[in-house]
Amino acid sequence: MTEKGLEHIPVLLNETVMGLAIKPDGCYIDGTFGRGGHAKAVLAALSSEGKMLGLDKDPEAIKVGQALALDDERFAIEQCSFATLSDAVSERLWQGKVDGILLDIGVSSPQLDIAERGFSFRKDGPLDMRMNPDEGMSAAEWLATAEMGDIERVLKTLGEERFGKRIARAIVETRETAPLTTTTQLAALVEKASPFREKNKHPATRTFQAIRIHINNELGELTEALQQAVDALAVGGRLAVISFHSLEDRIVKRYFRDQAKGDDLPSYFPVTADQLNPSIKLIGKAIKASEAELAANPRARSAVLRVVEKLA
Ligand SMILES: C[S@@+](CC[C@H](N)C(=O)[O-])C[C@H]1O[C@@H](n2cnc3c(N)ncnc32)[C@H](O)[C@@H]1O
């Protein structure tokens, strides 16, 4: 498939590279390679001794990574979830030796723009939404079999969709006569089931987001990856996470806060903060895209970057 017109503009690029405080001879992992925008910026800051591993679930991202690996012997790519980062690290004997890890979570622009991937309600395609279409259940398969209560719960918790119950009921009623197989079919169903529209937001936005997060287990995989990433880092190594959704950012923020606080002892215990064995320290505050970046790339709108450094 030609990638013309399907570029991905990396978000918060300079902020991320600065946040990673690249060591030229260091060892880096990009857990969400995508089209390699961030990875190439990290490689540009590495010497010939530096090394970088890219991970992604998406076969199209892997093809781009394989082409880069042929061009640049410092780089390698592996198709897997970042939730299995520790396996990729152990295979290379990199445990406790990685100088920086980036997770730029969510979907890439090409995933949204290619109709066949089924991520977008604006494009007519099969209702798929899997980051790796060769693994797990597609959105259509899930919607064909899920209990109404489960669909409602997913729409409410992962999409904050207040009409979750009506939409879930409409899905279950519709599938009794014909299966839901396309993105436009689902978008039209949601539009019909929603009593009114939010300004500047298609009524299917929340439903698509919720189903995507659910079928890819995005929050569960993020939670698993954070601990593995911190474990993989060398002392002084950095972890940078860019999230695009408040539910994801909450997981990152809480995990970082708890790890930076250390052992959870009762407040009357006579210990100083460093005796609580914090595993990381926070580097600066959460960073959002500048006005200039937003003007050039509206998809950076909800991006939040958080960076931490491994202590011990
Ligand atoms: C926002 S894009 C990353 C873009 C990349 N930073 C760039 O500059 O091109 C997110 C990427 O993460 C991948 N992804 C999402 N969840 C993943 C997971 N659990 N494990 C590995 N890759 C994942 C997606 O397939 C997508 O390619």
CA distance 221 to 225: 6
Strands, E assignment, the chain: 27-30, 51-56, 75-79, 98-104, 233-243, 280-288, 304-310
User: Would you state the structure tokens that stand for residue 237, as one six-digit string?
Assistant: 């190594």
pTM for this model (two decimals): 0.94
Residue whose CA is closest, atom 26 of ligand 1? 34
CA distance 55 to 81: 7
CATH topology of domain 132-215: DNA polymerase; domain 1 (1.10.150)
Dihedral, CA of residue 61, residue 221, residue 249 and residue 132, to nearest 10: 30
Looking at residue 3, its pLDDT comes to 47
Q: Is the CB of 108 under 6 A from ligand 1?
A: yes
Residue 68 reports pLDDT greater than 50: yes
Name the amino acid, one letter, at 251: I
Residue whose CA is closest, atom 20 of ligand 1? 81
Q: Give the model's confidence band at 5: pLDDT under 50 very low, under 70 low, under 90 confident, else very high.
A: low
- Where in the chain are the domains? 13-110+218-310, 132-215
Positive or negative, the Cα torsion across 111, 114, 115, 117?
Answer: negative
Distance 175 CA to ligand 1 centre (A): 32
Pocket-testing residue among 77, 107, 108, ligand 1, by greatest number of atoms within 8 A of Cβ: 108
Residue 297 reports pLDDT greater than 50: yes
Looking at residue 13, its pLDDT comes to 97
First to last CA, the chain: 45
User: Would you state the structure tokens that stand for residue 258, as one six-digit string?
Assistant: 């708890």
Query: Which has more confidence, 268 or 309?
Result: 309
Dihedral, CA of residue 153, residue 154, residue 159 and residue 164, to nearest 10: -50
CATH says 13-110+218-310 is which class? alpha beta
Q: Is the CB of 256 under 6 A from ligand 1?
A: no
Q: Give the model's confidence band at 264: pLDDT under 50 very low, under 70 low, under 90 confident, else very high.
A: confident
User: Which residue, 175, 172, 168, is CA-closest to 190?
Assistant: 168
Per-residue pLDDT tens over the stretch 8-67: 899 999 999 999 999 999 999 999 999 999 999 999 999 999 999 999 999 999 999 999
Per-residue pLDDT tens over the stretch 136-181: 999 999 999 999 999 999 999 999 999 999 999 999 999 999 999 9
CA distance 100 to 85: 13
Pocket-testing residue among 52, 57, 87, 297, ligand 1, by greatest number of atoms within 8 A of Cβ: 57
Q: Is the CB of 8 under 6 A from ligand 1?
A: yes
Q: Is the CB of 154 under 6 A from ligand 1?
A: no
Least confident of 73-77, 186-190, 265-269, 288-292: 265-269
CA distance 1 to 61: 12
Q: Is the CB of 58 under 6 A from ligand 1?
A: yes
